[in-house]
Amino acid sequence: MPPLLGPPELHLPAKPKPITKLETHSTILLSNNFNPCLEFFLRTCSNDPRQSYYQGDWIDKVLGHEWLDDCLEKAWKQDPLTTLKLIYYQRIFGGSDKTAFYAAAKWLHKYHPLTLACNAMVFGAMGWFHELLEILYSLEWYISQQDGKRIEKNIIKKTKKEGRKYSTEKEGRKDDGKTDEPAVPKKERDMLGFQLAVESYQKDGSYRYLHNRISDLFAEFLRSDMQFLCSGEIEKISLASKWCPSIDSAYDTRTIMCEGIARKVFPRDAYAEYRDIEEAHYAYRVRNRLQTQVLAPLRKALESRESNLGAKKRESFTNRAVKASIKRYKKIYEEKDECLRFRHYLMLCSVWGRPTIGVGLKFPHQIIASLKNNHDDSEEELQWGKLIGECRRQGKFRNCLAICGLSESMRGTFMEEIAVAMGLFISELSDYPWKGKVFTFSEYPKFRRIEGDSLRSKAEFIRQMDCKESLNFIKVYDRIRQIGIEEKVNNENMVKRIFVFTDRDFETVDINQWASDYKEAWKSYRPRGYKTVPEIIFWNLKDSIGCPREIRTEKHHRGWLMLHGYSKILMSLFLKEDGVVKLGSVNMLNSVPTPEDVMKSAISREEFNDVLVLD
């Protein structure tokens, strides 16, 4: 195949342009104890600018990656195929910013060019045509820099922001930059870009091979798409025409890809009208023909198809779960405390299980908190009614009581909202004679009926209840037993659990004293025919998330359970399990996926099965 020439204007004399040095950004290294592949996986999946290069100009991001080179080198030595799949996964994880992917592709081209070029078909299978152009763009810049052909950065940025003629609105970058320097004429920028692109193509064998494989890919898809268009099978048309560079667009001026594709779609030896014309004229004619006879009709068909299909297809839940898990693992393994495994479970359970209270239902405290923002509570009353109705239908929190310890330090905080909401919530789900009542937090606890004819007034009543410094558990047990006897409550309808919502630290309480209180209560309950003493569950809303702690009494009966901190997932599990958060189970925690499991899941896509390591 004859060498690519670029537009005719490129071969006219041109004035030299000033050369400036390209800046790069340093990065902060992380200290991890993972195997090299896992280290690369987790580090490149961080969106923290202190740990990555997600800041600065686009070109600077791709080139400023010294730590990434070292990370990739170690991972490749351990497992080349896994590393290659992880590089491709960076494109999926990166979202709108795929800098890590492009930097890794640049490293791959530098040290394993055959592998990158020969796996171009993987990009096509996944519809990543745009990424191929971005890779060529950054590589061409890198080659020009290595050869001393550096261009002022503002010129390149303006060239990139110019966009392709077809994709100015859909895919072009917004030009938010402001500069006092005079604008460089577009024609001059284009000619300089074409010149560097042609030189890179002619002088660098690895770049040329990659360029040819990418143009082969585009040409193959475009020819196939034209057949689908002619047969009316529009739904089978790929996105190759959408991302194929238009004439003199940003990608064309920096990669001369339009000419490379056009030569393969309309080869000289297959068309008699091209056999006897000059090479430059042939290149000019096929570029224009590609634009008018291939790209234009295919793009029109794509627009028609997209308008009929409506919203774009979303990622599968599995892929979203993997991406969310990666971010959580990154944070988890930076922490070191005795509750690490429990934190693992809480942070990952929202992704690999998602316990919910019900479709479309809010948490109790979310409804109560919204009362402050509205004068009309009709929406909150409706939401509360739906929540209570659904939980009552499921038989949740039957025969339970709440103790709301609203200390002064909780006033005006989210802890107050949770304590008020959960006290009211549990009271409305209980049966007679416990329904609509709560205990005060006091040395002499009172069994109070919640007054009010609206959700707002009931919540305000709980807020105004007295709260003392200590809670006498024996008196709570005695009062429940007394009411049970007076109301002739049988064993089945006796209180099963008592929930204490506060910001107090019960860890400092003498456990032996608790055990003694439980035994004393048991002695008074058993003669009255009650087979169990109500369990007490303390929820310290102030602390950081920690492992649930069980305090058992004789015969292995659990008398108390302590929860620490707050998170949405902990609240979900609390409501789902009627407050019995059995997350301390070793078997349950062992079911949590490991970082290696998450990594393997990330690269288990069917499309990745075709990638090959060749050098």
User: Would you mind telling me the total number of residues written for the chain in this entry?
Assistant: 615
Least reliable range by pLDDT among 460-469, 479-488, 547-556: 547-556
User: What is the domain class of 358-591 according to CATH?
Assistant: alpha beta
Of 182-186, 261-265, 297-301, least confident by mean pLDDT is: 182-186
- Which of 135-149, 343-357, 394-408 is least confident? 343-357
Calpha distance 564→540 (Å, rounded): 5
Between residues 316 and 382, the one the model is more confident about: 382
Residues 361-378: pLDDT tens digits? 788 998 988 887 767 788
Q: Check residue 568 and give its pLDDT.
A: 73
pLDDT band at 539 (very low <50, low <70, confident <90, very high): confident
pLDDT for 48 equals: 40
* 16-49 pLDDT per residue, tens: 333 222 222 223 233 344 588 887 877 766 444 3
Q: Measure the CA–CA gap between 406 and 501, rounded to whole angstroms.
A: 8
Of all residues in the chain, the percent with pLDDT exceeding 90 is 13
pLDDT value for 402: 93
Predicted structure pTM score: 0.49
Predicted pLDDT at 36: 85
Q: Which of residues 11 and 606 earns the better pLDDT score? A: 606
Two tokens at 612? 């090959």
Q: How far is CA 437 from CA 112, 464, 480, in A?
A: 71, 14, 12
Query: What pLDDT is attached to residue 461?
Result: 93
Q: How confident is the model at residue 508 (pLDDT cuts 50, 70, 90)?
A: low
Which of the four pLDDT bands, split at 50, 70 and 90, describes residue 7?
A: low
Q: At what angle do helices 317-332 and 595-602 cross, to 10 degrees?
A: 150
pLDDT over 60 at 93, yes or no:
yes
| Structure tokens belonging to residue 419 | 């304590």
Q: What average pLDDT does the segment 210-234 reach?
A: 90
Quick check: helix, strand or coil at residue 344?
Answer: helix
pLDDT, greater one: 432 or 356: 432
Residue 607: pLDDT above 80? no
Rounded CA-CA distance 123/130 in Å is 9
215 or 14: which carries more pLDDT confidence? 215
How high is the pLDDT of residue 62? 46
**pLDDT confidence of residue 590:** 44
Give residue limits of the domains in the chain: 358-591
DSSP H/E element including 562? strand 558-564
Residue 57 predicted with pLDDT over 70: no
- Kindly state the average pLDDT of the residues 323-340: 48
Helices (H) and strands (E) in the chain, counts: 27, 7
- On the question of pLDDT at 52 being above 60, the answer is no
| The one-letter amino acid at 546 | G
Which residues lie closer than 8 Å to 196 by C-beta, 6 or more apart?
Answer: 140, 144, 149, 151, 254
The Cα–Cα gap between 240 and 219 comes to 9
Residue 76 banded pLDDT, cuts 50, 70, 90? very high
pLDDT for the residue 354: 46
Task: Please say if the pLDDT value at position 164 is more than 60.
Answer: no
For residues 563-574, average pLDDT: 74
Portion of the chain with pLDDT greater than 70, in percent = 64
Pairing state of beta strands 437-440 and 400-404?
parallel
* Confidence tier at 346 by pLDDT (50, 70, 90): low
pLDDT at position 292 is: 92
**How is residue 180 annotated by DSSP?**
-
In angstroms, the CA 246 to CA 241 distance is 9
pLDDT beyond 80 at 301: yes
pLDDT given for residue 608 in this prediction: 79
Angle, nearest 10°, between helix axes 340-349 and 568-576? 80
Which of the four pLDDT bands, split at 50, 70 and 90, describes residue 544? low
Task: Please report the pLDDT score of residue 50 as a whole number.
Answer: 34
Q: Which two tokens stand for residue 418?
A: 């949770």
- Give the pLDDT of residue 481: 92
CA 369, CA 377: separation in Å to the nearest integer?
11
C-alpha 260/C-alpha 211 separation (Å) is 8
As a whole number, the mean pLDDT across the chain is: 73
Helices (H), 79-204: 80-93, 99-111, 113-118, 120-125, 129-146, 153-162, 186-203
- Better-predicted residue by pLDDT, 15 or 563: 563
Tell which residue, 33, 75, 73, 25, has the closest CA to residue 49: 25
| Least trusted range by pLDDT, from 69-78, 156-165, 331-340, 475-484 | 156-165
